[in-house]
Amino acid sequence: MAVKWKTPQLAPNEAEGESAEGLLGMIAGKPYLAGDKYVDRVRDSMVEPLWQANQERDMAKRMVIFRKHIEFREGPRKRAFIAAPFTCEYGFNISFGDDSFCGPNCTFLDVCPIWIGDRTMIGANTQLYTPQHPIMPEERDGLNGAEWAKPITIGNDCWIGGGAIILAGVTIGDGCTVGAGSVVTKDVEPRCVVVGNPARVIKRLPEAVKNGNVE
């Protein structure tokens, strides 16, 4: 699946003694320190607008706030919706497609980019986790150890059932359905239905037929 990624805005500007190197490495999936001063400040800068958006009861007004911090790709239907409450870390690492929907209580840990396709619907309480940590406890070393992340890509025309968990590095192809409560640990081919923990394919959908031709 070809994903065109928009370079995120890196705000706020660096202060004295800070460097964006850690943040750029983080976005690229390289090891970085989560306690880096600049990374901390960028992450904290999303807390207030996220709180404001989640307090807004009117969907249209809420989306005005979200659109200042999260990418929404324009398409013919010109609409996308995020129900409240919604949780993320950075915002600029998330890209929603046209006519997409995200249900309430979803958590997107967007240390690396998260890309959601057009006409894709995400059920309540879904969790997308891009961060990864060392398995060896000596390497984790509490908050002192480096961590990294891998991007998550969900294709067009997908339905992610409520309470599903999508782990780091996973790509879900176009036209897939993920059953409620499933834990997706590896890539899913297009037009598949997956369920369970770990999620497994239980059905493959045929290609759509229109006017006698397979699309």
**Active-site annotation, residues:** 133
Q: Vertex 129, ends 137 and 61: CA angle to 5°?
A: 140
Residues near 12 by Cβ (< 8 Å), separated by ≥ 6? 41, 42, 45
- Report CA dihedral (115, 27, 88, 161) to the nearest 10 degrees: 30
Q: Between the CA of residue 126 and those of 75, 101, 121, 200, what are the distances in Å?
A: 24, 12, 11, 18
Phi/psi class of residue 55: alpha, beta or left (left: φ > 0; alpha: ψ in -120 to 50)?
Answer: alpha
